[in-house]
Amino acid sequence: MCKTLAPWFPSSTMGYAATAPSLAAAPSAAPSATPCGPAPRGRGRGGRPGRSGRLLHDPGDDGTQCRGDRLPGRSLRVVHLLRCHDVRVCVHPDDTGPDEHGEHDEHCELAVPWSAIVLPDSSVLVSERDSAKIQRLTPDGRLTSVGTVPGVAPNGEDGLLGLAVDRRTYASTTVLYAYFSTASDNRVVRIPLDAQGRLGAPTAILTGIPRAAYHNGGRLAFGPDGYLYVTTGDAGTQPNAQNLDSLGGKILRITTEGKPAPGNPFPGSPVWSYGHRNVQGIAWDSTGRMWASEFGQSTWDELNVITPGSNYGWPTVEGAAARSGFIDPVRQWRTDDSSPSGIAIGPDGSVFLAALKGESLWKVPVNADGSTGEPQRLLRGDYGCLRDVLTGPDGNVWIVTNNTSRGTPKPGDDRIVRLPQSLTG
C-alpha cells in the first residue's frame, strides 16, 4: 500500500518573495491527496494516445537509440510509480474529478518539451521545442499555453530550448529569458510577461550563436551571482569549441542586457568556459560550485565542475585524458548509458542528470569534501528518454520526459513527473 501524498501546493519554503499579484494567487483547487493501492492495468478514463513524434535517424545527441518503455512487464511498474508517487502533476484537460480509484488522469501530453522552470508562484513554465509554445503548468495541474515565441525555426535538435527567470527581480521585473534557433543563428531573448502571464514581444539580447541541426546547447540559468549563463554547442563545427572568437562550444556569462558580465575571464567576451562539445545542463550547489553536463561524441559523456576561463578539451580530448591544459570531467559515462541533457542539484546536494539515450536519471552523490561518489542509476527505462530535471515547487526532484521526438510515446507523454524523496534522497 502506498502512502498518502501531500498535494502539490505553492511552497513558502523556497526562499523567494511573492511575485506579481496576478501570478501569485494560491491554487483554487489543488488536487486532493489520495492513497493508492495496487495499480490496475489501464487508466480508466485515460487512454488517449500520446502524440506521435518524429523518429529521426541521424548523428545527433538526442538519443537516436532511445527505446521508450518497451520492456515487457514494465508498464505495470510505470503505472504503479505514477499512481503511488507522482501522479497529478498534470491533470487531463477534461478531468472533472477523481475516478473510482481516487485518481485524476495524468496526461501532460507535452510535445517535445525541453526546459521546465519554476516561477515564484509555484507554477512551472515548459518550453516545447518544435511548436515554440510555452506551456504553464499551474499548481492545480492544468496546462495552458502562455504563447508562442515568434521567429523560432526548429530543425533537428534545435528550436525553442532553454528558459530562465531571474527570481530575485521577478516581482518587479516580470521577464522571461529564452534560447531558441532562428533560420540563421541561436539567440537569447528577453520576453516580458503581461499581467495574465502571457508572452509579450521578445527582444534579442545575444545573437550570433552558431546553430545547426545538432549540437546547439541551449540551457539558460541565472547563477548565484545574478548573471545569466548560456550553454552552447559546437554546432557540428568542432573548431568552434577552441575558438574564443566563436560563441559555439562555450558556456557564456552575460548581463540581462546580453553584455559580457563583469569579471568574465576574457575581457570584453561573454565566454566563461570553452572546449565544450554540447552542454545542455548547468546547476550550482549550495557552495556556489558550478556543474555542467556534456554530451560526448561516441565515447564519453561528462559531468564537469566549471571554473572560469578553463578549457574542457573538446575536440582534442573526450572524457578524462589527463592532458595538460584541459580540465577533466569529475564523472564520465559511456554515451549509450547516459547522453545527459538537463541537470539539477537535489535536496541532499547530489547532482541529478536527465539521460536521453540512457533512459535514466543519474544521481551523483557529492561528499562533504566536494568529491563525488559512485553514480546511481535511477528509473532505468521507466519513463523512456529524459530531457530535463529540476527541483520542483514542492522541493522534490521532478523530471521531464522526451519520448515524442525520439522515443516511443505512451499515452500521456510527454510528461512531467514529480519523484518522491524516498527515491531521490
Please give the residue ranges that form the binding site for Ca ion (CB under 5 A). 312-313
The b-or-e profile of 87-111 (16+ CB within 10 A means b, else e) is: bbbbbbeebeeeeebebbbbbbbbb
Asked if residue 338 lies in contact with residue 374, where contact means CB atoms within 8 angstroms, the answer is no
Q: Considering the complex, what minimum distance in angstroms separates the CB of residue 294 from Ca ion?
A: 6
For Ca ion, the closer CB: 177 or 314 = 314
* CB 303, min distance to Ca ion, A: 10
Residue nearest to Ca ion (CB): 313
Nearer to Ca ion, 113 or 313 (CB): 313
Residue nearer to Ca ion on the CB measure, 190 or 331: 331
Beta bridge partners of 300: 334
Q: Which is nearer to Ca ion, 203 or 299 (CB)?
A: 299
- In angstroms, the CA 251 to CA 275 distance is 9
Q: How far is the CB of 309 from Ca ion (least distance, A)?
A: 15
Residues in the chain: 425
- Beta carbon nearer to Ca ion, 152 or 282: 282
Given the DSSP bridges, would you call strands 175-181 and 331-334 parallel, antiparallel or unpaired?
unpaired
Distance in angstroms (rounded) separating the CA atoms of residues 226 and 223:
5
Q: Closest approach of Cβ 250 to Ca ion, in Å?
A: 13
Nearest to 69 by CA among 413, 421, 424, 418: 413
The SS3 call for residue 344 is strand
> What's the rounded Cα separation, in Å, for the pair 178 and 161?
7
Distance (Å, whole) CA 78 – CA 40? 11
Strands 124-128 and 300-306: unpaired
Instruction: Provide, rounded to whole angstroms, the least separation between the CB of residue 302 and Ca ion.
Output: 5
- We find the least distance from the C-beta atom of residue 291 to Ca ion, in angstroms, to be 13
Q: How far is the CB of 274 from Ca ion (least distance, A)?
A: 11
- Identify the DSSP state of 357: T
- Residue 305 or 378: the one with the smaller Cβ distance to Ca ion is 305
CA distance 341 to 145: 24
Q: Which is nearer to Ca ion, 170 or 312 (CB)?
A: 312
